Amino acid sequence: MKNVNPAGAITEFRDVFREAGPARWRYVLLSALCTFGLFGTLAFTQNWVADRKLPEIDYINSWPADRTEAETKAFIAANQKDKDAREKAQAEADAEAQRLWMAVGRATGVDVDTMKKKADADKAAEQAKKDAQDRAAATLNMPKTQAPVDR
């Protein structure tokens, strides 16, 4: 790129333009008209700003608008019962998987009892930390009228 010189290109263009003869100005005018005509047509006949399409909104009703308070409470109770059943089934599956892995560990000579004690201690510490955070958050969210008062 350091040997590029635009002066040579300009000089060569000037020589070719002079050699084109007397018809050169007609060709320059014709090419300029075509160029400006094409770009002018594109620029002035196009709507370059498209109209914004409004979004379509779908409303989803997950419950009837006229349900009663009793129906709402029954719905919540049924969902809580289903959730408790799922959590119980998951806990049973986890316990069975742990029992099987402990059997594999014992068969291979791993001290699974020590590992289980350490894992249980870690879980208890994590639960205690979470409970402390929950208590602190509950204390911060307590209204001013219910805050404990030192007397």
pLDDT at 100: 94
Is-contact 112 102, C-beta < 8 A? yes
Q: Indicate the pTM of the whole model.
A: 0.43
User: What Rg value do the Cα atoms of the chain yield, rounded?
Assistant: 41
pLDDT at 50: 75
pLDDT in tens, 3-34: 777 888 889 888 888 887 788 888 889 999 99
Q: Identity (one letter) of the amino acid at 108? A: T
Residues of the chain with pLDDT below 50 are none
pLDDT at 144: 52
